[in-house]
Chains A and B, each alone.
Chain A
């Protein structure tokens, strides 16, 4: 079942081309407002479903917003167009953030978000290719997105396409060996058309990354694997847009320093909000904190 929303589509294209005209700071303001809307939608989805991965959804929201509203060259009307840019959310447990972003971008009907994880819904707890337009590959088991992204980037080279691939991983996810195999392949194949964004919120499921299987110094590790490494504040849209748009002759790795649970004070940087579900009062407080200023 494919779902698309012609209504919000026109808005999205208009909004995107407007954002593209703006200087970086003004664009950043627009993206921030957009991201707050997405965060509210995430809270409502998780409340409705009674399940979800709220902390990682909120840490990745600004990244997803920057990619979809700032740089991706795609047409939600033609989600399988041959030269489209490719986006892969490798940390598939943050499906709610992806679905909300896809809805804002016109791939998914906003109303469909209410069916998140409901029986028979296309919006499974982890994104499923073929069920939701804009989902390029099914994810959920960690450490799959980057290898697939290497494949789509090589395919672009082989077919003479200028399509770019963007992959978002968690930082805990970078403990999976498959990522490091893919990092080597990307350098080997000179994939200057591939961007990896690591959502560096420093928490994983059960503890801090550095207390579990430390990744630091992640920047020098990635650089030594042949990548052009850029470290940014993952909640600063100006920095994100600059890192996403500055060209390189190598694969680009953006270490986006983020806060798990970003935007909701009592969830921020707290390990238990990996997949805790807020109660009614917490939902109310979260939505209030996420109101536009």
Chain B
């Protein structure tokens, strides 16, 4: 039986895949056992934020404010102001879109140590459409000083993101992917604040990918390797603070940079990288291709939409080849 709204067609992978949301929930329960300051705040989203087990173990430590995102974020700020460590969880479009001013004033500007957890981001809600897609979140939040933005690429990195946010709480947004993705960090998951990690080295072109696109970038690198092209793949798990050093190094050491994100091309990772590259001295600049979402999506499943926007292996391969012929 289909248990709930089926997002009918998630992107297929050849490798085994793992659930970020399960990793998120398990890790949160684990740290909540060790640290009683951990609380969860949600908006009628106990199920969709994967908090069912957390609630079973810590019934008093889930604050469900109902369908009221602005209130949810404000409440989170108040909890943090009194020394608790709130993980504020909601579907990413409503958490970031509806409560953007609360995130700005109550979290980033006030520097309350709230961990905002954007569930089911990007186009994970497929045919539920643009109102339910969260492709603007990276652009909106990047504009806020003092807010970390973390986009884990796999389940292991999701665990690290939760663990580090709890041990060093600061205003943070974590994008928690909905559909299962392959393990890209292979037991060596790294998550260093403000750093990209190199998941494959290469010297022709650099692909900087984030979240769900990292595994695709690795697949594209395989395809290109077979064609004799050596690709460096950087996992941009931290979008803010931004790894200016890695970007500068890539611009210098490879012939171009492709960025790939399940997010808007206006102001997301690609735009962030481009603003660094554009400000380098002319000889150190590199040509770029920015892959992402550039319009309100038509109706379609997640897999359909990722293909529609060229956010797939072919799209990355094509972009790399274009850069090499420039």
- Is B44 located at the chain interface by the 8 A CB criterion? yes
Task: Provide the residues of chain A in CB contact with B68, threshold 8 Å.
Answer: 175-177, 213
Q: Are A173 and B67 neighbours in the complex by a CB distance under 8 Å?
A: yes
Task: Provide the residues of chain A in CB contact with B70, threshold 8 Å.
Answer: 177
Task: Provide the residues of chain A in CB contact with B7, threshold 8 Å.
Answer: 51
Partner of B127, one of A124, A176, A277, A279: A124
Q: Are B44 and A206 neighbours in the complex by a CB distance under 8 Å?
A: yes
User: Which stretch, A7-15, A60-68, A77-85, A137-145, touches the partner chain B?
Assistant: A137-145
Task: Provide the residues of chain A in CB contact with B298, threshold 8 Å.
Answer: 119-120
Partner of B6, one of A176, A205, A277: A277
Task: Provide the residues of chain B in CB contact with A92, threshold 8 Å.
Answer: 131
- Is B66 located at the chain interface by the 8 A CB criterion? yes
Report the Cα distance A139→B132, complex, angstroms: 10
Q: Are B67 and A143 neighbours in the complex by a CB distance under 8 Å?
A: yes
In this complex, the interface size class of chain B, counting residues with CB under 8 Å from chain A, is 35 or more
Chain A nearest CB: distance from B106 CB in Å? 14
Chain B 26-55 near chain A by CB (<8 Å), digits 1 or 0: 000000000000000000111110000000
Chain B nearest CB: distance from A52 CB in Å? 7
Partner of A126, one of B8, B46, B132, B304: B132
Report the Cα distance A275→B94, complex, angstroms: 18
Task: Provide the residues of chain A in CB contact with B130, threshold 8 Å.
Answer: 128
Chain B 73-101 near chain A by CB (<8 Å), digits 1 or 0: 00000000000000000000110011000
Q: A177-B70, A275-B4 are in contact. Are A126 and B301 (CB under 8 A)?
A: no
Report the Cα distance A52→B2, complex, angstroms: 11
Q: Are A212 and B44 neighbours in the complex by a CB distance under 8 Å?
A: yes
Q: Are A119 and B66 neighbours in the complex by a CB distance under 8 Å?
A: no
Chain A 261-285 near chain B by CB (<8 Å), digits 1 or 0: 0000000000000011101001000
Task: Provide the residues of chain B in CB contact with A276, threshold 8 Å.
Answer: 1-4
Task: Provide the residues of chain B in CB contact with A142, threshold 8 Å.
Answer: 67
Chain B 286-308 near chain A by CB (<8 Å), digits 1 or 0: 00000000000011110010000
- Is A123 located at the chain interface by the 8 A CB criterion? yes
Task: Provide the residues of chain B in CB contact with A6, threshold 8 Å.
Answer: none
Q: Are B132 and A117 neighbours in the complex by a CB distance under 8 Å?
A: no
Report the Cα distance A182→B247, complex, angstroms: 47
Report the Cα distance A180→B275, complex, angstroms: 42
The A189-230 residues at the B interface (CB cut-off 8 A) are 204-207, 209, 212-213
Report the Cα distance A277→B128, complex, angstroms: 14
- Is A187 located at the chain interface by the 8 A CB criterion? no
Report the Cα distance A56→B26, complex, angstroms: 32
Q: Nearest 6 pairs between A and B by C-beta?
A: A213-B66, A140-B131, A175-B66, A117-B127, A125-B128, A277-B2
- 17 additional A-B pairs beyond A51-B6, A141-B97, beta carbons within 8 Å, are A119-B301, A125-B125, A125-B126, A128-B129, A138-B131, A140-B129, A172-B67, A173-B67, A204-B66, A205-B45, A205-B47, A206-B45, A206-B46, A213-B68, A276-B4, A277-B6, A282-B1
B interface, CB within 8 angstroms of A: 1-8, 44-48, 64-68, 70-71, 93-94, 97-98, 125-132, 298-301, 304
